[in-house]
A and B are shown apart, each in its own frame.
Chain A
Amino acid sequence: MSKENKEVLYGLYDDEEYLLKAVDQAKAEHLEISEVFTPFPVHGLDPKLGLAESRLHIAGFVYGALGTLTAFLFMTWVFTRDWPIIFGGKPYFSAPAFIPITFELTVLFAAVGMVVSFYIVCGLGPGVVNKTLDDRITDDKFCIAFDVTGAEPTFIDKVKGFLSQSGASEVNTKSI
């Protein structure tokens, strides 16, 4: 988050249908939306906003593979190199017996890694304070925000006109 204040002009919509229509309209009018905030995941919004697919699952695969290797190689090293012990007459390298722990650590690494990555890339975490535009965004309002820091008054009027004309129930400016 930058320290300097941003002037944000935003409109609040009452329903996700209005929001989706407004996003389409903004695209048609070549207005650049800086952010959209919703109380729940609205399906069909991501392609309209041109958001690229999340790459978290790729990171998850990498973490999982790391877990697989860590577990299997570590157990192999312990039982064949560091301290070989015979259990129940089985070979030192008894791969089938390593499978359960290998599986568990694969899941553990993938899950923990993905969750930590998620919070880092989103800039969220314990103690983070993000200023929000309106308290009702986590309740029942759908918000389209435009960054109007240092913008021309004519541009601001154009955006205002767009917001109220596309069905926003409220249009406000806030510096965050």
Chain B
Amino acid sequence: MSAVVSPIREPLVTGGKSYHQITEDICSPTERTPSAAWVLAFIVAVTGLALFVFGVAWTIWKGIGSWNLNRTIGWSWDITNFVWWVGIGHAGTLISAILLLFRQKWRTGVNRAAEAMTIFAVICAGQFPLIHMGRIWLAFFIFPYPNTRGPLWVNFNSPLLWDVFAISTYFTVSLLFWYTGLVPDFATVRDRAKGIRRKIYNLLSFGWTGSAKHWQRWEALSLVLAGLATPLVLSVHTIVSFDFATSVIPGWHTTIFPPYFVAGAIFSGFAMVQTLMIMTRKILKLEDYITLAHIESMNKVILATGTIVGVAYLTELFIAWYSGYIYEQFAFYNRVLGPYYWSYIGMMSCNVLSPQIFWWRSLRRNIFVTFVMSIFVNIGMWFERFVIIATTLARDYLPSSWSYYVPTWVEIIIFIGSLGLFFTLYLIFVRVAPVVAVAEIKSILKSGGDQYVGPEANRTHASTKEAAH
């Protein structure tokens, strides 16, 4: 079938879909009994979650002494994992908010799943500072509430408190944005369902009817939330970087941190979106909605942000040398050639060198290469945080207190377990909610799909020609 498509751009929805077919394709996975692949994945994920619960319970019961933190290295795997997860949690809002403001239509294929991923990643991130507090039952002390100790308030000048506000605001706003997008789609699932299932989805859909006035308000709300979320997403990792940058530790005390962290966050977030999307589109058979064009666009973002991160690494080295300040110079010498040199190599090779293969179009459009690269980037970005946090602390001002750090089994299972927490939530999400934004895909079908009806509609896009052969 030779479809009529825009002569300019590659179609974002392929397969000559009708509106009904879109509903059918995207809603039916929530209506079938789960496939064997899903059940297997869920068992693995829940096992991971059990490890997490066990590790956290152990930590709370025994205390932070069950980790290998010491007098010199007070932050290590815990904060590394926190920053890593928060970074991953940046892509969803970036895709849904910034790409909405830039009117990038390809966001509609991936925004729903990416936003879900954001929320789950932030949930994972939030666990680490909480358990690192040691006395988790006093965690509410971080909020400024009237208390009987004065009232003694929290320190509003501390970047750690800014982080509390940034992460909790980010989580709330992302959740609202995501759920408001889901409401019309839950109504679509509701109207296909019967009995108790219909009641449950009616509850989830808030009684949505699809009235023209509601749609108008819904679009106005989405646009303003996108406008609010755009500076928010940039502020969150900026503030996370302030946790380090406002300290007086050589190697942390640098002005480059905010943009460098934000670029790194987008980089790792898109990598995680790729990992999830490649699996999701395959298992749920959504290749017509999450197309190679989507994967290629995300690979371009990965290439750009990976290169920005690379420039930041080199700038740091240059500035350390140029500063003429021996402590700063030593901090970076130690990062590259010190006892943790292997983590620096891991960071440089996974984050800076390997994404450069995406200069080639054929590799950007290769699913297998993309999948492997997305795992590489995730590993590399974990190393980056480890490099910044642990190697810097291991060699402080006093050589007598220099130390080395290896995690205990508790720290290892908490980290692996946090992946279990993440995937458990994601797997439940793909069973319960439409993974692609149904209404939004329908609204771009005629302008961005392969049934393009605009001017010059009779010309066929090159890639469709290839497919037709």
Residues of A within 8 A of B (CB): 35-43, 45-46, 49, 51, 53-54, 56-57, 60, 64, 74-75, 78-79, 82-83, 85, 87-88, 90, 94, 97-98, 100-101, 103-105, 107-108, 110-112, 114-115, 118-119, 121-130, 132, 135-140
Contact = CB atoms under 8 A, between A and B. Distances in A.
A28 B147 CA distance: 66
B325 interface: no
A135 B191 contact: yes
9 contacts: A39-B19, A40-B184, A45-B212, A56-B221, A100-B162, A105-B169, A107-B229, A114-B221, A125-B206
A140 B220 contact: no
B169 to A, nearest CB: 4
A33 B314 CA distance: 64
Contacts of B172: 108, 111-112
Given A36-B211, A36-B212, A46-B212, A107 B173 contact: yes
A94 to B, nearest CB: 6
Contacts, number: 180
B456 interface: no
Given A100-B239, A126-B203, A140-B23, A87 B212 contact: no
B220 A41 contact: no
Contact of B225 (A53, A100, A114): A114
B216 interface: yes
B31 interface: no
Given A100-B235, A104-B165, A135 B155 contact: no
Contact of A115 (B20, B221, B229, B235): B221
A108 B212 contact: no
A103 B228 CA distance: 10
A121 B213 CA distance: 10
B70 interface: no
Given A39-B188, A126-B203, A118 B221 contact: yes
Interface in B316-362: none
Nearest to B190: A138
B180 interface: yes
Given A41-B439, A107-B232, A126-B206, A118 B20 contact: no
B153 A83 contact: yes
A49 B165 contact: no
Interface in B19-53: 19-20, 23
Given A40-B440, A140-B23, A130 B209 contact: yes
Given A112-B172, A135-B191, A54 B217 contact: yes
Interface residues of B, number: 63
Contact of A101 (B156, B188, B192, B219): B156
B191 A136 contact: yes
B210 A138 contact: yes
Q: Find the residue from A42, A98, A111, A137 having the highest chain B CB count within 10 A.
A: A111
B398 interface: no
Contacts of A57: 220, 223-224
A41 B215 contact: yes
B19 A35 contact: no
A38 B212 contact: yes
A110 B163 CA distance: 19
Contact of A49 (B212, B218, B225): B212
B221 A138 contact: no
Nearest to A97: B157
A70 B10 CA distance: 48
Given A35-B211, A46-B216, A83 B150 contact: yes
